Every structure is written in C-alpha cells, then in structure tokens.
Amino acid sequence: MKTIPKHTRNKTIVIGLLAAIALLSAAVLIVSQWGTQQSAEDAGCKDNCIPAIVKAEVVGPNRVEVTFSEKLASFVPDDLKFAVPTGTWSELDPKLNRFLNVTRTETRTNERNHTVASYELKETLQPDGTWAAAKSRDPKNVKLMTAKYYLGIRAKDVAQADSLLTWQMEHGGWFKNMGAAYARPWDGKEMRTELFTRAGEEIGTIDNGATTNEMIFMAILYDETKDERYKQSVRKAVDYLLKMQVPSGGWPQVYPARGNYSDYVTYNDNAMTRTMEVLRLIADRSYPFDTDVVDDTQRSRVGQALDRGLDYILKSQIKVGGQPTAWGAQHDPITYEPRGGRPYEHPSIASSESVAVVQYLMAIPNPPKAAADAVQGALAWLEQARIKGMKYDMKTPIGSNFVSDPNASTWYRFYEIGTNLPIFSGRDGVIKRNVLDIEEERRNGYTWGGDWPQKLLQVAATTGYYENRVYVRVTGTDSRSESGHPLAPGKLVKVTGKQ
C-alpha cells in the first residue's frame, strides 16, 4: 500500500484549509452535483494517512457499495450511517438526523486491493442514489405559502377563500400587502390595487409573495372542498403568471406594465425566483397542484415557461472580464443587463437576490452544464465578496452600521460591478462607499448588508442540494487501516448512481 510522509500530509491539510477560506471552487470543495472531486482512490494513500471513503454507489434497489481509499485491517459496519435530510431546501439546513435501516453488510477487496463494504438497506433507493421520501400533503408544511391564510378550520378557511375570490382582478392577479382587506369580501367599490396603468387598468404583482400565495391557498382549498370556483381561480392566476412573463423569459414585478423600473425583470426580494419555484410545483405535480386544479395543457405551458425562465437566468448572469459573477436586483428584459430600481438602488451585483437564484439553479434535477457552471461561478463570487471579521448591525447606538466581529462574516447588499466596492445611496441617488455617509432615514430604513450567502456556501461545500439525497456519515472510529488509523468521524459522502 502506497504511503504519504507525515510532512506531506500536513502540507496537504494546510492547503485544504487555505482553499476553504479563499474563493470557493465548486470543482474542488463541493461534494455534490456541482463538484468534481479528485478521487482519493486515484491519488492513493500512504503511511500514517487517515483512511477515507472514496465513493458510495447504488448497485441495486436496496444495496450501496462504499469504497475506501485503502485496504482496512478491520472494519466495523456500525462506523457508518446512512443519513437522509429532514430539512427542506428552502431552509438551507439539511438536518441529517434521520437514518436508513441496514439489514446486512458484507466486505470484499476490489482490483486495487481497497476495501469495499456492501450495505443492504431496508429502504429502496433510486438508481441515481436518491430515495423516494414520503411526500407531505399537510397544508401547513407548504413552505412557499408565506401568507397566514390557512388555519385548518374548514369554515374559516372557506370564508378566507371566498373573500380572496372577490379580490382577484380580472387578469387573474392580486396585489400585495392586503392581508387585512383580504380577510373580508371586496365591496365592489374600493380599490383592489394601489397601481394602475395610464389607461386605468388594474395592476397586479408578484412582489412580496403576492398572487403566488393566493394561488397556493386556492389550490389547497380546492383539494379539500372540490369547489370549482377555487379551481378556476387557480387556473386564472396561472394564466396571469404566464401572460406576465416577458418574451426573453423573465418575470417583471408587475403586470400590466407600470411604465417604470417595476417592468424590469425582477430578482429583487426574490420575486422571479419565488414565482418559478411555485410554478415548479405545478410542473412537477407536487402538492397542492397534484390534482386536476391545473389541466395538462396549462401544466405543459408552465413547463415551457420554466425553460424560458432558466434561459433568462443564465443569460442575465453578470460577467466581469469574461468570468461569471452573480445577478442584479433588476435586469433589462431585452438586453439582460442589470438595471436600477428606486433612486438608491443602482445597477449592481446584489448578494441577497443572488442567493435565491443559486438556490433555484441547484434544485434543478439533472441540470444542464450551463446551469452547473453558473452555480460554480456565483458561489466563487459570493465567497470572494465575503467581508470577514465584520457584521451588519441595525441596532448600534448610531443605527445601522457595519461593526467589527472576529467571528462573523457579512456581505454588502450591493456591489459595484467590476470593483466589488460597496454601493450605498440615499434618496438623492448619489453613490457613497460608507453607509454612515447617507441620510439617517435611508440608512436605517433599508437593509444594506447581511449574512444571506452564509448558509448557502456552507451547504454547497458539504451536501450540495440535499432533498431526497442519501449520505454516508462516519459516526464511529472502531474500523482501522493497516497502519492503525481510524476513519475520520463526521465525514460525509453523498450516495450516487453507479459511475
């Protein structure tokens, strides 16, 4: 068995640590669909090295083979556990606290004389390494419904749905921040929206979860009551979202067009990505859209719309010197270029909104290479944009400010394209580099920083996209290499299909 001298091993560890705090390279660090690890099996293992799991592959419906980096002198099957996440992707916290049941284990050596442990599981896995977890149909577990419409009390839920029917505009959309009004029926006179076109048409929106929240709730109530009115409301809302999409594939904040920045393709406050996530539920026949609440023709149109949306996302990723970075808060529907919003929202790279875009891309099953490359570029940029040793605090004695904290990292909300300098601005539209240089009202009335990418970068470097995935985790240290070293506890390797 080949060995690596101790000084070489230590050097390798140092290099690994430096890489982890520098630009995140998905090709090296992410043990996921986004990374391409150098195989420990190819690299070999020498004296005093810690034995490692090279790969874990599905070789049958109930069987996983775990290959190690060397031949083990002793192997204890209980040192490994097969963990599955209980957290949702929206949480960016896998919560790997559920374990699959092992019924039998065998070991052998492969052609390289490395130990291979074959685990038979009670649960059935798919050929690609995923497992079919039971899908929840609990209305209270629909993470994308952020409005508190559903109570689980039939009479009150029906009353809420009936009120929403009256507030839905003719084009199929709803307006935002109307919770109090939506609790009662529309009287036929008051305004159903705060915005109108120059021709007097009512304007709906997807901002702040508007239209998508109501659509999800109506689908839930149709599932529970089979009331045709609710089904037609959902279909009307889906048509609204499809009409709203611009020809290049993006979604603006409002429809019909308002005649200002709201007509740009809007990543701001995750408007477009949230809309696409809800439409993905429809395309995938996921609850609460797994009934005839949407017909096959409309479902097919949704799938096509999502394809165009993905195309827009990829084309609008901001490149600097030919290298992909991330996305702005608004983009031009024709040229794909980043655009400004309100006077204090300049064309820039927006860290918060970019996190949601990357989350969406990482959740695409079997993503095209262009999507995988976009993710890698964005993750690298987010790591580069990290401000170490600082945190954004909105409650300092002088109000919002960036303050020193050796244990924290933060990100500016807006970065100047090409320089990564921060952008702060008041209502006068003048760009400042220090948040304290803008007026108090805008400084304290707007969020200029945050740790939005923190969880995403952590997940990308460990599990990658994790819903329905299975991971081998080292939980024991009784197994030994021929040099007497145990497995490294806590190590995590994703189960994949047979390569």
Domains 38-133+468-496 and 134-316 share a fold: no
Domain ranges of the chain: 38-133+468-496, 134-316, 317-351+358-467
pLDDT of residue 132: 85
Q: Cβ-count burial of 122 within 10 angstroms (0-12 exposed, 13-18 middle, 19+ buried)?
A: exposed
Q: Which residues are 214's β-sheet partners? A: none
Give the DSSP letter string of 269-324: GGHHHHHHHHHHHHHTT-TTSSSTTS-HHHHHHHHHHHHHHHHHHHHHS-EETTEE
* Model pLDDT, residue 134: 82
Assigned architecture for domain 134-316: Alpha/alpha barrel (1.50)
pLDDT of residue 421: 98
pTM to 2 decimal places: 0.88
Please give the distance of CA 90 from its chain centroid, rounded to a whole number. 6
Architecture label for domain 38-133+468-496:
Sandwich (2.60)
Q: For the chain, what's the residue count?
A: 499
Res 49: pLDDT: 78
User: Is the distance from CB of 74 to CB of 88 less than 8 angstroms?
Assistant: no
Of the candidates 13, 12, 20, the residue with the CA atom closest to the CA atom of residue 383? 20
Q: Is 152 left (phi over 0), alpha (psi -120 to 50) or beta?
A: left
What is the predicted pLDDT for the residue at 48?
A: 53
Which residue type sits at 313? Answer: I
221: nearest Cα among 467, 229, 141, 373: 229
Phi and psi (nearest 5°) for 60?
-175, 165
3-class secondary-structure state, position 83: strand
- Nearest-angstrom CA–CA distance, 302 and 421: 39
Cα 68-71-74 angle, rounded to 5 deg: 100
List, in sequence order, every residue forming a beta bridge with 132; answer none if it has no partner: none
CATH topology (fold) of 317-351+358-467:
Glycosyltransferase (1.50.10)
Instruction: For residue 63, list its beta bridge partners.
Output: 60, 120
- All residues at 6 or more sequence positions from 392 whose CB lies less than 8 Å from its CB, including other chains: 400, 401, 402, 410, 447, 448, 449, 450, 451
Across the 499 residues of the chain, what is the mean pLDDT of every consecutive 10-residue run?
35 36 40 39 53 97 97 97 96 96 98 98 96 90 95 98 98 96 97 97 98 98 98 98 98 98 97 98 97 98 98 98 97 98 98 98 95 98 98 95 97 98 98 97 97 98 96 97 94 94
